[in-house]
Chains A and B, each alone.
Chain A
Amino acid sequence: MERIPILRMGRFLLVTIQVDMHDQLALTLQDDLTQRIVADRARGVLMDISSLDVVDSFIGRMISNIAAMSRVLDAQTVVVGMQPAVAITLVELGLDLAGVRTALNVERGMALLQQSGA
Chain B
Amino acid sequence: MNTATAALAETLRKHESEILADWLKEQAAVPSRRNAVHDAETRTLSRDFLNAVQEALNGSGADNVGGSGYSRARDLLAELSASRAVQGQSPSETAMFVFSLKQPLFTWLRRDLEGDKLAEAMWAATLVIDRLGLFTTEAFQKSREEVIQRQQRELLELSTPVVELWDGILALPLIGTLDSGRTQVVMESLLEKIVQSGSTIAIIDITGVPTVDTLVAQHLMKTVAAARLMGADCIISGIRPQIAQTIVHLGVDLSAVTTKASLADAFMLALRRLGSRIEAAPARV
- Chain A residues, CB < 8 A from B187: 88
Do A88 and B188 touch across chains, with their CB atoms under 8 A apart?
Answer: yes
Establish whether residues A102 and B226, one from each chain, have CB atoms under 8 Å apart when the complex forms. Answer: no
Report B-chain residues with C-beta under 8 Å of the C-beta of A88: 184, 187-188, 191, 226
| Identity of the chain A residue whose Cβ is nearest the Cβ of B188 in the assembled complex | A84
Taking a contact as CB atoms under 8 Å apart, the answer to whether B222 and A102 are in contact is no
Q: Cβ of A54 < 8 Å from any Cβ of B?
A: no
With A80-B231, A82-B231, A102-B231 known as contacts, the answer to whether A91 contacts B222 (CB < 8 A) is: yes
What residues on A are CB-neighbors of B222 within 8 Å? 91-92
- Please judge, given known A-B contacts A105-B198, A108-B200, whether A84 and B231 are in contact too, CB under 8 Å: no
Number of interface residues of A (CB under 8 A): 20
- List of A residues within 8 angstroms of B280 by Cβ: none
Residues in chain B near residue A87, CB distance under 8 A: 191, 226-227, 229-230
Question: Once the chains bind, are B229 and A82 in contact (CB under 8 Å)?
Answer: yes
Tell whether A84 pairs with B228 under 8 Å between CB atoms, given A91-B222, A104-B198, A105-B198: no
Q: Does A96 count as interface, using CB distance less than 8 angstroms?
A: yes
A97 interface hit (Cβ, 8 Å): yes
Q: Is the CB of A104 within 8 A of B226?
A: no
**Complex-state Cα separation, A82 to B229, whole angstroms:** 7
Contacts of A97 in B (CB 8 A): 229
Say what secondary structure dominates the interface of chain B.
helix
Name the distance in Å between A97's Cβ and chain B's nearest Cβ.
6
Interface residue? B194 (CB, 8 A): yes
Q: Complex: how many Å from CA A87 to CA B222? A: 10
Are the C-beta atoms of B191 and A103 separated by less than 8 Å? no
**A69 interface residue (CB < 8 Å to B):** no
A102→B230 CA distance, assembly (Å): 6
B155 interface contact, C-beta 8 A = no
Bound-complex Cα distance A104 to B195 (A): 7
A79 smallest CB distance to B (angstroms): 8
A104 and B194: CB pair below 8 A?
Answer: yes
**Nearest-Cβ distance from residue A89 to partner chain B, whole angstroms:** 9
In the complex, are the beta carbons of A104 and B232 less than 8 A apart?
Answer: yes
B96 contacts chain A at the CB level, 8 A cutoff: no
Say if the beta carbon of B192 comes within 8 Å of chain A. yes
Query: In the docked arrangement, what's the CA distance between A88 and B185, Å?
Result: 11
Beyond A91-B222, A108-B200, whether A102 also contacts B228 by CB under 8 A is: yes
1/0 per residue B219-236: CB within 8 Å of A? Answer: 000100111111110000
Nearest A residue to B232 via CB reads A104
Residue picked from A82, A86, A87, A102, most chain B C-beta under 10 Å: A87
B236 CB to closest chain A CB, in angstroms? Answer: 16
User: What residues on A are CB-neighbors of B232 within 8 Å?
Assistant: 104
In the complex, besides A88-B187, A105-B231, 5 extra interface pairs with C-beta distance below 8 angstroms are: A83-B195, A84-B194, A96-B228, A97-B229, A104-B200
